[in-house]
Amino acid sequence: MSGLRNLLKYQAIFIILGVILSLFTSLLPAPVAYGGSIVLLNTLQQIWHVKRAEKLAGSDAAYNLRIIYRCAIERLVLGVAMLAFGMVSLKLDPLSLISGYSFGYLGVIIFGLGRRS
């Protein structure tokens, strides 16, 4: 569980760096922050599902697998819905939005690579 919390910290750091970098480029800071928040919400949702699996499923592998699949589907739907809402309803700049999303996932890449070595 602490690994996911550390991941959340790395993601937040990269998103803040992305917002700061957007001040010096043609990217807009608000869509960068919104795109990064999508990644943070996905990670928070994953943390919630892990806690739920520990509490409800215990060592039942089949039930754990159902929770994992449900988590994956919910994260995909939430991510796509929030991206669509940001681009269509809020009319945020798509390049800035996807850049913020990418900055958030840099934390996943760096953190994942750091844990394997």
| Alpha-carbon span 117 to 111, nearest angstrom | 11
Q: What is the pLDDT of residues 1-58, one digit of tens each?
A: 577 788 888 899 999 999 999 999 998 999 999 999 999 999 999 889 888 888 887 7
Contact 103, 17 (CB under 8 A): yes
| Alpha-carbon span 51 to 31, nearest angstrom | 30
pTM score of the predicted model: 0.86
Q: What is the pLDDT of residues 72-115, one digit of tens each?
A: 999 999 999 999 999 999 999 999 999 999 999 998 888 865 55
Average pLDDT over residues 55-73: 87
Going from N- to C-terminal start, the domains of the chain cover: 2-112
Non-local (6+) Cβ contacts of 89 within 8 A are none
Contact 84, 23 (CB under 8 A): no
Instruction: Return the closest-CA partner of residue 107 out of 2, 9, 5.
Output: 9
Contact 29, 23 (CB under 8 A): yes
Residue 113: predicted pLDDT = 55
